[in-house]
Every structure is written in C-alpha cells, then in structure tokens.
Amino acid sequence: MNSSHDLLAHQGHIARVHGIRIGQFTDPRRPTGCTAVLCAEGAVAGVDVRGAAPGTRETDLLHPSNLVQQVHAVMLAGGSAWGLDAATGAVRWLEQQGAGLDIGVGRIPLVPAAVLFDVMLGDMRIRPDADAGYSACESAGTARPAEGSVGAGAGAVVGKVFGHERAMKGGIGTASFTVNGVTVGAIIACNALGDVFNPFTGELLAGARSADGRQLLGTRNALLAGEEPRPVLAGSNTTIGVVATDAQITKAQAHRLAVVAHDGLARAINPVHTMSDGDSLFALGTGLSGQSLGMMTLCTMAAEAVAVATARAILLAQSVSVEGQAILPSHGDLQRQAGAPV
C-alpha cells in the first residue's frame, strides 16, 4: 500500500471488529455532527490524551487502576465543548436497549467522549446535542461507515497554522487490519492544526495553502524557514478517534493500545499534538474473537489502522462553502485544479 489510490482502495473498516457498531449524525444546517462507536455488550477501554487542549468526558474512569472495567460506547463529536452533550443521547439510547453497568436497580451506560472544534463554519449556535447523539446511535450498524465530511468530521478543517482562510477541509476516515482471525480497526476525525501526509510515501495530501490558495505550502518547511505562524486559538483544532479490537485484552493493555495508536497520527500529521490541538484516542477491546495476538502485533496493527484512517479522512473529504466565508477546498479540489488524477 503506497499511493493515494491504494489508500482509497483499502477495504478494512472499524465495524469489522466483532462487537462494534458505528452510527453517525450529520447536521444539515451547518457542517457539524457526531459519530457513535457502540459496544453495547461492553468492552474494556483505555484512552490517551496527547494534545494540550482536549475536550473530553468520562476519561478518568478509563485509567487502568480505576474500578470500572468496561464501557458501552464512545462518542466523537463536533461542536467543541457543547458537543459533549451528544454522549448524553447515547446514554439514553443505550439505557433503552438494556445496556450498561448493572447497579441492581437499573443499568448505567458508560460513554466516554471527545470533541473537536468546528464552530468557525457557519452558525456556532448549531452544534451536536443529546438528540444528535441519540440519532447517531439509532443509525448504527456493521456496514462500512460513511467517510469524508460526515459525522464528527463534517466540520473538520486542517492546515490552520497560517490562518483559517488558507486551510483545507478535513473529515473522518476508517481502516482495519485482520491477522489470524483478530481484527484491529480505527475511526479518526481529523481536524488537525497541521498538515496531513500519506503515511507510506510522505506525500503531502492537505494542509496550509500558499497565499494565493492555489497550492500546498508545506507547513513544516515553512516553519523551519522562519515563516511566522498566525496566532491560533487554543483548542481550535483536534484529531480524535477510536481504535477497537476483538482480541482479548486487559484494561491496562487497552490503555497501551491507545498510547501506541498515536504513532499512527504522528506518521500522518505534522505538526501534531500541539498546544492548540486536543488530540485524543480511545481504545476498545471486545474480546469476541476469543483470542489474542500479543501486544507487539496488536500495537502494530493499531498504529497502521490509525495512519490509514487519518489519510482516508482527508482523501475523502469534500469542500465546504458557508455564506460569507471563503470556500475551503478538499484534497480532491486541489488535485483537479492541478490536473492530477483524483
């Protein structure tokens, strides 16, 4: 797997993991939405928050030394801090299905969440709420999830180091790998401050554009050459996602899987994990394959799935035009403009 066409041809996706279902809601009123990763029967879980400006919910319970061993969903959402309310809709939906931690008098569904900042596109008063989260759960299934500018990636934007007007459209992508009957999959909503690359060839796919907007600038090289970045609002970026496996793993191993999964982000995004990003990755283990491959192989698969999913989020993104704002082009737009095959 080398070229962008190879990445687009990749057939794996996170819903191939036994016990995982994906549902999404995209708001028709402005570019925003949410993505529900459901594991209603319960899954051990871990998290690693690497960015310095995160927006999260229920992450403390995922520490390996804490009591609760399983969660029942993870919610990814746009809308910045307001988007965390989408997890409430997932809790409500799961309770109606009889899912959750048994407390004798009922069940409490446990739904960690992470959000990204997409409120610069259109009316910021429109953001994912509990009803949006509920709708995402209602649509959940095991088919390949939609990718590109949908769900939590609907309002994602990448390459903002030199100003939002020189940025490009981000999105959400998924990938998976299966080895000896065990699957590891990822779903990534990429709203990075930095540029996004093909993780295998190093080809720059999307990011900050030149002043005339016609071509990619190359943020890393521009910064190293002394070009001054524009002031960036803390938390106004973030790549969030979930890595899931049907291997049998412990809660401590789920935490390690989330840690190593960030290597996939580092292969596809530069700069990454900045002071203005809230990069957060969750890991889920359903155990439904009945076996494990060992952590060396699982971690390799996780980083690979994250890298591919991140690139696919960009390759499948669609340009967006909001009244009164400049059009943010996609990777495909710049390719067509340059006369290159898409």
Mean pLDDT over 201-225 rounds to 92
- Taking only the tens place, the pLDDT of each residue in 73-128 is 999 999 999 999 999 999 999 999 999 999 999 999 999 999 999 998 889 999 99
pTM: 0.95
Is 179:304 a contact under the CB 8 Å cutoff? no
Confidence class for position 165, pLDDT limits 50, 70, 90: confident
The pLDDT of residue 237 is above 90:
no
Contact 222, 305 (CB under 8 A): no
- Tell me which residue has tokens 């989260």: 133
Domain ranges, ordered by start, for the chain: 4-337
CA 150, CA 128: separation in Å to the nearest integer?
Answer: 13
**The pLDDT of residue 147 is above 70:** yes
Banded model confidence at residue 213, pLDDT cuts 50, 70, 90: confident
Name the amino acid, one letter, at 143.
Answer: A
Contact assessment for residue 262 and residue 136, using Cβ atoms and an 8 Å cutoff: no
Closest-CA residue to 25 (of 207, 194, 152, 110): 152
DSSP 19-76: T-EEEEEE-TTSS-EEEEEEEEEEEEEEEEE-SSS--EES-GGGSTTSS--EEEEEEE
Q: Alpha-carbon distance 161 to 228, whole Å?
A: 9
Residue 232 predicted with pLDDT over 80? no
Question: Residue 24 pLDDT > 70, yes or no?
Answer: yes
pLDDT at 303: 98
Encoding tokens for residue 273?
């994990």
pLDDT at 265 over 90: yes
pLDDT at residue number 211: 87
In angstroms, the Cα distances linking 110 to 87, 100, 231, 245 are 9, 6, 37, 18
Q: Choose among 25, 280, 219: nearest CA to 132.
A: 25
The rounded radius of gyration (Å) of the Cα atoms in the chain is: 19
Angle of helix 251-268 relative to helix 295-315, nearest 10 degrees, comes to: 40
Distance CA 320, CA 30 (A): 10
Strand order across the beta sheet in which 204-206 lies: 204-206, 195-197, 269-270
Choice among 128-132, 225-229, 253-257, 264-268 with the minimum mean pLDDT: 225-229
**Cα–Cα distance list, 223 to 22, 96, 161, 206, 255 (Å):** 38, 51, 9, 16, 33
Helices first, then strands: H and E counts in the chain: 7, 16
Kindly report the average pLDDT of the chain as a whole number. Answer: 93
Q: Tell me, what DSSP letter sits at residue 180?
A: T
How far apart CA 185 and CA 174 sit, in angstroms, is: 7
Q: What is the pLDDT of residues 317-336, one digit of tens each?
A: 999 877 767 688 999 888 88
Distance CA 141, CA 223 (A): 43
CATH architecture of 4-337: 4-Layer Sandwich (3.60)
More confident position, 233 or 117:
117
> pLDDT tier at 212 (50, 70, 90 boundaries)?
confident
Q: Give dist(CA 316, CA 225) in Å, integer.
A: 31
Predicted confidence (pLDDT) per residue in 271-298, tens digit: 999 888 889 999 999 999 999 899 999 9
